[in-house]
Amino acid sequence: MSTSEAAVVPLHDAVATFVADTVLPDVAAWDRDDVLPDEIWEQLVALGVPGALVPVEHGGAGRSVVDLVPVWRSLSQGWISLTGAVNPTGLATALLVRDGTPEQQARWLPRFAEGSAHAAFSITEPQAGSDLSRIATVGAPLPEGDGLVLDGRKRWVAGGVSAEVVFLLCRVEGELTCVVLPADGRDSESWQVEELDKIGYRGVESAAYVFTHHHATGAEILGGPEGVGRGARQMLGALGVGRINVACRALGIIDRALTAALDESTGREIGDGVLGDHTHVQLRVGALRARLMAAESLVERAARAVDADAENARELSTAAKVIASDTAVWAVDLAARLSASRSYRSDDELARLRRDAPQTQIGEGANDALLLALGRGEIADAE
Ligand SMILES: Cc1cc2nc3c(=O)[nH]c(=O)nc-3n(C[C@H](O)[C@H](O)[C@H](O)COP(=O)(O)OP(=O)(O)OC[C@H]3O[C@@H](n4cnc5c(N)ncnc54)[C@H](O)[C@@H]3O)c2cc1C
């Protein structure tokens, strides 16, 4: 058994207990109030979840992505916003480990490990989601490597209100480049921040930024000067980790939809028996279980490929994210049909899952856009 395998058992158990005892009893109120309470975030940090991927040599637990699949899935059975809130620091860890300079690694990774800093990961702009060629934010280098002047707009920056550092895709010398941007000067005239209101995935900060000639003296290019022009490859590479995180959110939602369907099947009296006596219900529950098993197998396989940096890691993590998220939306709809009017109360768990599940179809790439890219690649290979 590897060190990380030995370490993951207690973490998963601790997270499952945290979800059962602390999250599920109060999640409806947090969702209603659109708040992830500070003490809940502190408990996640104390459990070591946000910095779990930080390597041992940088003070972390050195867990692998596949180790974290059951952890992220359990968290998502409580609330996908918890899994989403820890994701950007995982993405930043992957970026730094693969592409950071030794100084950048030494500055941020130990802080991620101990939880004294967390990160945001910012690609999207108002006019640029899947299409990175439309990224327009510019970082103009200041003389003598003393930071950058930023102009442009960013959108949907998870954790972007309070993260200590933002990994930001912008154009440096015209080339797509990942900038490591400490949060100094955020929420000022030159770096304005707006928090976006959302229908679901509540409690996660989703920020919009406007940079107007913002002098970011502490900003650096990921990987040093040679990193200019490598930002798209670097940040898309890290998204493999993020797609597994999103797929785990979907698995947690499917788990809860199955639980709701079973509760309804066994507890709801219809005629002389219960709902689950009827074949249409048995068929639906069977289909739900079968698709859940298919999705969980694919997610685990994709996580192993991401850990191994395998050639097909991008394809597999894309497929896992798409299949798991589409299944989550379908599963919630199926469970809601069985529950009928009871799923329509605003404080019912299925009502929240109906609002949360579509986030998994959008986060880390809109499913349609991901399938387009996958299909194009297949066709090009066949030509
Ligand atoms: C709650 C939430 C949190 C998020 N968090 C973050 C974050 O932390 N950091 C971040 O950078 N982003 C974040 N995002 C943004 C998210 O990653 C993007 O929304 C996603 O990548 C899709 O981009 P888009 O919404 O602009 O849709 P688009 O990319 O514009 O896609 C819309 C549709 O256009 C079509 N389409 C796309 N590409 C093509 C093509 N090449 N050819 C033809 N048709 C095409 C598809 O049908 C697609 O469904 C978040 C989004 C949400 C909703």
Q: Is 4 in the pocket of ligand 1 (CB under 6 A)?
A: no
What is the 361 CA–ligand 1 centroid distance (Å)?
9
* CA 126 – CA 43 distance, rounded (Å): 34
What is the 283 CA–ligand 1 centroid distance (Å)?
34
- For residue 218, the SS3 value is coil
Q: Is 156 in the pocket of ligand 1 (CB under 6 A)?
A: yes
* CA 364 – CA 125 distance, rounded (Å): 14
The pLDDT assigned to 8 comes to 44
Q: Residue 159 CA: which ligand 1 atom is closest?
A: 8
What is the 132 CA–ligand 1 centroid distance (Å)?
10
Q: Residue 365 CA: which ligand 1 atom is closest?
A: 21
The pLDDT assigned to 5 comes to 47
Q: Is 366 in the pocket of ligand 1 (CB under 6 A)?
A: yes
Tell me which residue of 279, 291, 282 sits closest to 255, measured CA to CA.
291
* CA 59 – CA 62 distance, rounded (Å): 8
CATH 2.40.110.10 describes domain 120-231: yes
Q: Within the chain, which residues score under 50 in pLDDT?
A: 1-9
Q: Is 231 in the pocket of ligand 1 (CB under 6 A)?
A: no
What is the 201 CA–ligand 1 centroid distance (Å)?
16
CA angle 356, 358, 361 (to 5 degrees): 130
Q: Is the dihedral of CA 371, 360, 315, 86 positive or negative?
A: positive
The pLDDT assigned to 10 comes to 85
Residues 318, 36, 352, 320, Cα dihedral to 10°: 10
Q: Residue 128 CA: which ligand 1 atom is closest?
A: 26
What is the 362 CA–ligand 1 centroid distance (Å)?
6
* CA 304 – CA 284 distance, rounded (Å): 31
What is the 85 CA–ligand 1 centroid distance (Å)?
18
The pLDDT assigned to 145 comes to 75
For ligand 1, mutation pick of 362, 364, 370 (most atoms within 8 Å of CB): 362
Q: Is 246 in the pocket of ligand 1 (CB under 6 A)?
A: no
Residue holding tokens 């930002």?
231
Residue type, 330: W
**Do 35 and 85 touch, CB atoms closer than 8 A?**
no
For ligand 1, mutation pick of 89, 123, 134, 156 (most atoms within 8 Å of CB): 156
Structure tokens at 288: 């739900």
* CA 358 – CA 227 distance, rounded (Å): 34
Q: If you ran DSSP here, which 8-state letter would residue 142 be given?
A: P
Q: Is 209 in the pocket of ligand 1 (CB under 6 A)?
A: no
Please state, in angstroms and as integers, the Cα–Cα distance from residue 102 to each residue in 1, 224, 359, following that order.
Answer: 30, 10, 35
Q: Is 372 in the pocket of ligand 1 (CB under 6 A)?
A: yes
The answer to whether 3-118 and 232-382 have equal CATH topology is no
Q: Is 368 in the pocket of ligand 1 (CB under 6 A)?
A: yes
The predicted-structure confidence for 311-350, as pLDDT tens digits, reads as follows 999 999 999 999 999 999 999 999 999 999 989 998 899 9
Domain limits, the chain: 3-118, 120-231, 232-382
The pLDDT assigned to 112 comes to 97
Domain 3-118, CATH among 1.10.540.10, 3.50.50.60, 3.20.20.80, 3.40.50.970? 1.10.540.10
What is the 129 CA–ligand 1 centroid distance (Å)?
4
What is the 187 CA–ligand 1 centroid distance (Å)?
25
Spatial CB neighbours of 241, under 8 Å, sequence gap ≥ 6 = 53, 65, 90, 91, 94, 306
Q: Is 121 in the pocket of ligand 1 (CB under 6 A)?
A: yes
CATH class in words for 232-382 = mainly alpha
